[in-house]
Structure 1
């Protein structure tokens, strides 16, 4: 679709229809559980066909319940694909298979990540390498593998990195220097890839928007298992809303960035932290 035709199409249809992703194909990494699965569910609820990439061989009962709920309530689908984002050769093949089966790919959310809470003086080189291979290199390779397929099929779409407010600040009383640095790198990576891929080329390739979502502290079982109640209370009280986020509160942001509603949004970092970094 030529640029002017595309703009006319965007501006003349009902505004809320821009959030509709019926028939669009997405990949979400790190989507066997947690925030990744919640974001995948949100895209499927809006009509998308979503492939959940993660490392475990088979999804657990919670994931299967989510799949059934999406099928029965929304007549949509999520599919599971065993894929480690650090296995870059196979990652390219897995994304090619998804794109080939659907004659294209419309968007990717790179949510796969790990956390390690360790004072800086106690890190080993192996610790740093493992975290960066998953949190940064894995996200970078996910984006480039996806972009190749989007360009192959001339799909103008969206790529979103799940960064963190930890890429903007040093979290009070949370010893996560490598995690923080990796998330800061993702924010800059989004800007750099947006510069390369956002404009539409003469051959019809390009038009790939690249952005980040930077969540604040999210209420998860992992957070409650790792940190004391006193620390969790302190972090809750450190933002303007006085509480932690629920994973479901990020669904609409992901849908915005994956849909045509964000057609003029690229190279941006959407900070959703309850006001934590605003004061």
Structure 2
């Protein structure tokens, strides 16, 4: 990225982690951070990232002079998580940012939800996000440069999705929004900012698979927002760069809702 225009959006020299970045939204946002000049580490549970990963990694080195790395990490394994994050920070002598995009979804009615399934949902979507943020913040404080943490929430954390039966998922995303506010309060004195992004319906491989089971949703869901369409993962690229960069230097404890007006009716 040129430093001659809008230098506050540059991430040159920054080291940023993106959890849940083996594929989907996390990987798309990781690519944007690379283009802005950051060195990026993708963390994910999968043994290997999607086929889209390697072309992006090659492009990062060839075109942007940056690097995209992959680390297999289970956000529920806190000791392993802290070890991986600590090693990355030690290698670079800094850690500047995090996008916590790791999460799971389950569509089950409230009367049929089991305690085990609910606990699994909260363990990944809330505790996992919390512990990932904590691991990163410890390193930010250790190296003294501050930083920016972005938690991927959802419009489902603010509204009940009509016809989508996901009580535990929606509760977990509401928890993420509130978690970010509290982390922002505690870590502000260390110059660490914490914000959330709340996407609307995004067409991903996971959603496409859902349409196979519920084909009517392809027609009805877009009608629920003011733009009358689904969003694409690439439409959240700019938000990632904005929140991780100096362009949002006075923004913390906030939720950036990008839902096509779904929850503004």
Normalising by the residue count of structure 2, what TM-score does the alignment of the two structures yield?
0.96
**Which of 251, 257, 262 is the matching residue for 2:237?**
251
| 2:41 equivalent in structure 1 | 51
Q: CA deviation at 1:14?
A: 6.7
Give the Cα–Cα distance (whole angstroms) in 2 for the partners of residues 124 and 138 of structure 1: 20
Q: CA deviation at 1:72?
A: 2.6
Aligned pairs for 1:1-279 within 5 A:
16-199=6-189, 206-227=190-211, 228-279=214-265
Give the Cα–Cα distance (whole angstroms) in 2 for the partners of residues 111 and 272 of structure 1: 15
CA RMSD of aligned residues (A): 1.2
| CA shift digits 1:79-131 (9 cap, x unpaired) | 00010100001100110001000001001110000000111111111101111
3-state DSSP of counterpart to 2:216: helix
Q: CA deviation at 1:179?
A: 0.5
3-state DSSP of counterpart to 1:161: strand
| CA shift digits 1:202-247 (9 cap, x unpaired) | xxxx000000000000011211211323212211111111110000
Q: CA deviation at 1:73?
A: 2.8
**Structure 1, unaligned runs of 5 or more:** 1-12, 200-205
Give the Cα–Cα distance (whole angstroms) in 2 for the partners of residues 15 and 120 of structure 1: 51
Q: Runs ≥4 in structure 1, deviation > 6 angstroms?
A: none
Which stretch of structure 1 is more off in the superposition, 13-22 or 123-132? Answer: 13-22
Q: CA deviation at 1:65?
A: 2.1
| CA shift digits 1:175-222 (9 cap, x unpaired) | 1110000000000011001111112xxxxxx00000000000001121
- Equivalenced residue count is 261
Q: CA deviation at 1:58?
A: 2.1
| CA shift digits 1:2-29 (9 cap, x unpaired) | xxxxxxxxxxx97710000001000000
| 1:7 equivalent in structure 2 | none
Give the Cα–Cα distance (whole angstroms) in 1 for the partners of residues 94 and 122 of structure 2: 29
3-state DSSP of counterpart to 1:86: coil
3-state DSSP of counterpart to 2:106: coil
Give the Cα–Cα distance (whole angstroms) in 2 for the partners of residues 96 and 181 of structure 1: 30
**Structure 2, unaligned runs of 5 or more:** none
